[in-house]
Amino acid sequence: MPELVMLVRRHHPSRITAIGDVVSREALKAGIPVNLSIIDQKTMRKPAATISLKDRKIYYVRNPAGVITLESWDAIKKAMKERDTVILVDGEEDLLALPCIEESPDGAIVLYGQPNEGLVAIDIEPEVRREASLIIRRMTREETDEV
């Protein structure tokens, strides 16, 4: 976290998104101005200590493991236009880093945890967004009966 604090102070990102309960909690505890936290209230599939949701707009979405639901993507699009927002996921938030990268403005930072490795900080720029888009396009799409 001390390195991340220095990175934020040096680069003044246009927006900061934190994906995962531990990353969100530790970034907020370190005083990093997280605009959007995406959490599922679990860490390594076990209950996690929660972050404060007080005074934050909350979106509730369903996002099963291994997928990116349209509901989640829509919530990310909306949340990117706001400050102090939380997306609370029923399911798993891991893959939601990809739409966050696509929807973040240039100069933003997207944070997520790499289990047993540490923190990943992605500086958003057009090339990074293109790479995320390529990964998403290679994912299997399933049609749903949802309206």
Read off the pLDDT of residues 40-73 as tens digits, 9 standing for 90 and up: 877 656 666 667 667 789 999 999 999 999 999 9
pTM above 0.85, yes or no: yes
143: in domain? no
pLDDT, position 88? 95
131: in domain? yes
Q: How many domains does the chain fold into?
A: 1
Q: Which helix (H) or strand (E) holds 58?
A: strand 57-63
145: in domain? no
Which residue do the tokens 């998403």 mark?
136
Read off the pLDDT band of 100 (50, 70, 90): very high
Find the domain containing 37 and state its range: 2-138
51: in domain? yes
Sheet holding 57-63, edge to edge: 57-63, 85-91, 36-39, 16-19, 109-114, 118-123
Contacts of 22 (CB under 8 A, 6+ apart): 43, 48, 113
27: in domain? yes
